[in-house]
Amino acid sequence: MLGWSGPFAFLATLTACAAQRVYRNDVYLQNTCGVPLELTLANDSNYDDQPRSFTLAPNERSSVANYQSFGEDVSGQISDRYSLKLKSPAATKTIDAQTLRKALASIEKIEERGVRSWTVDNGAFCP
């Protein structure tokens, strides 16, 4: 009987690792600036890290960071090289990783079925 305990323990450990839950952490920006914004993002994901640019209309919401994790909240996953450049008709502002982490610390996390989301909607990122 003891001969089976080693392989059983190995399989139990393997099964536990394979069943570990994967979370999606999404950070959104709600454009409350009153003007269209041109956004340029770099290092905003740990699974699809291609730089991207797009226009965000007033009151529109879009993802500005997304990460997969095995339990960690998004703050620990944001790359130190994260960059969000926001350009309005009158000004430009760049948000770095530290600024994003600080903003997220005061925003309520919404969690539903393995998807966690935060929305920056207070105008703090307006250029």
Count the neighbouring beta carbons within 10 Å of the beta carbon of residue 65. Answer: 26
Residue 3, pLDDT score:
59
The distance of Cα 69 from the centroid of its chain, to the nearest Å, equals: 10
Starting at the edge strand found earlier in the chain, the sheet holding 23-30 runs 61-69, 23-30, 115-120, 110-112
What's the mean pLDDT in 6-26? Answer: 64
pLDDT on residue 5 = 55
Q: How far apart (Å, rounded) are the C-alpha atoms in residues 125 and 127?
A: 6
| Tokens found for residue 12 | 């139990």
SS3 118: strand
Q: Each residue of 54-101: pLDDT tens digit?
A: 999 999 999 999 998 887 777 888 999 999 999 999 999 999 999 999
Residue 40 · residue 51 · CB < 8 Å: yes
Spatial separation of the C-alpha atoms in residues 43 and 52, rounded to whole Å: 10
Q: Where are the domains of the chain?
A: 23-120
Global confidence as pTM? 0.81
Per the structure block, which two tokens stand in for 125?
A: 């990122």
What CATH number does the domain located at 23-120 have? 2.60.40
φ/ψ (deg, to 5) at 98: -65, -40
**pLDDT for position 48:** 79
